[in-house]
Amino acid sequence: MLLDKASAERDVASAQMPIDNIDGLIEYFSQNDVRNSDPDIRAIITKREIAVGYLSQANDAIAAGNYTLARIYARNACEKESESYNDTLIKVPQVKLSKVFPPHQIIMRRFGVLDSLSTHT
């Protein structure tokens, strides 16, 4: 029983670490004025909040002595965190690129239009 509790607590603690990483990336978006204006960022934040909810339920299950349920909630939190984190990793390069080039220049550069125009001036 004690070993089962320790195992559930370890799973919950392991699930907390990725949330801290996601929080750091969300802070990056906040510093770059993207957080409130981008629907993708709002979706990332929503997934993160769902993961936090699962972790809260996992802690409640541990307190109630239901260690199997706690591990299930911790696993659900990890799945939602993975979605959020992967979405975040896709979004970071887009944000960095849009700070360097306006969106129309990103498209033009992607297809070589901007580069060919700059060689003719």
> What is the percent of the chain with per-residue pLDDT over 70, rounded to a whole number?
70
User: What's the pLDDT tens digit per position in 19-77?
Assistant: 878 888 777 777 766 656 678 888 888 999 999 999 999 999 999 999 999 999 999 99
Asked if the model's pLDDT at residue 86 lies above 70, the reply is yes
| 99/21: higher pLDDT | 21
- Rounded Cα distance, 72 and 81, in Å: 14
Spans of all domains in the chain:
2-92
Full-prediction pTM beyond 0.95? no
- For residue 93, the model assigns a pLDDT of 66
Higher pLDDT, 50 or 103: 50
- Which pLDDT does position 74 carry in this prediction? 92
How far is residue 81 from each of residues 48, 57, 64, 98, 109, measured CA to CA in Å? 6, 15, 24, 25, 33
How far apart CA 67 and CA 121 sit, in angstroms, is 69
